[in-house]
Amino acid sequence: MQLFIDTADIVQIREAYSWGIVDGVTTNPTHIANSGKPFDDVLAEIFELVDGPISVESVSTNAPGIIAEGRRIAAFHKNAVVKVPVMIEGLKAVKVLSSEGIKTNVTLCFSPVQAFLAAKAGATYISPFIHRLDMVGHEGADLIRQIRAIYDNYGFETKILAASIRNVKQVLDSLLAGADVCTMPLEMLEALYRHPLTDAGLQSFLTDWKRVPPSRLFEAAAV
């Protein structure tokens, strides 16, 4: 499963990218607004830094507008993926953009049937919003499982991009349900590394190491 970072904050993207586990970036209009920078500048910075798929959201609500924005986004960089909301006009646009070889990420997906329609339109990615479903009493992981079954039953190649991730359990559920990609904020990526037993174990090893006589081997490697 690939990991994407879900933000337009270049400092956070740079930090996560330096860890070697980030494959791409997803942004949305909220992230761009929160960055406090002009849209074009934010995009230039992200595309310069990351060599992987980068989703940029269209903001028109009619197909001709989405298609025009999508072509502009795609022309900006070879790694660009056009994010389009699930709706009739959006999927009309996805059909045209995908026929032109432009990659798309159909977003704001809350039902397996929406994911089926996105795949029929030729979407590259479908983004089910897991935490937003969990928050209203649904089981977000069930949506991934259902989409996985539909795509496997009918041989759709659209990738499942689990989005709106707010805890480690949702990442584990995404892995077990067969998501192709999981996108999350920096603090969530960081949380994936953590376990209290790791911290406690490391602490005791480092304490015990103080009782070992100095090592020439490690002295030479010290940085």
CB of 5 to ligand G3P, least distance (A): 10
Instruction: Tell me the number of residues near ligand G3P by CB under 6 A.
Output: 10
Instruction: Give 17 or 129: the residue with its C-beta nearer to ligand G3P.
Output: 129
Task: Convert residues 162-181 into a mask of x (bound to ligand G3P by CB under 6 A) and - (unbound).
Answer: -xx-----------------
Question: Which CB, 98 or 107, lies closer to ligand G3P?
Answer: 107
DSSP state of 37: S
**Could you identify the residue written with the tokens 């860890």?**
19
**Is the Cβ–Cβ distance between 160 and 181 less than 8 Å?**
yes
Q: Is 28 in the site for ligand G3P (CB under 6 A)?
A: yes
Contact status: 6 vs ligand G3P (CB under 6 A): yes
* CB of 136 or CB of 212, closer to ligand G3P: 136
- C-beta of residue 23 within 8 angstroms of C-beta of residue 4: yes
- Does residue 183 belong to the site contacting ligand G3P (CB under 6 A)? yes
CA dist 208 and 68 (Å) reads: 63
Q: Does 26 bind ligand G3P (CB under 6 A)?
A: yes
How many Å apart are CA 115 and CA 152, to the nearest integer? Answer: 13
CB of 129 to ligand G3P, least distance (A): 6
φ and ψ of 107, to 5 deg: -110, 175
214-218-223 Cα angle (round to 5): 120
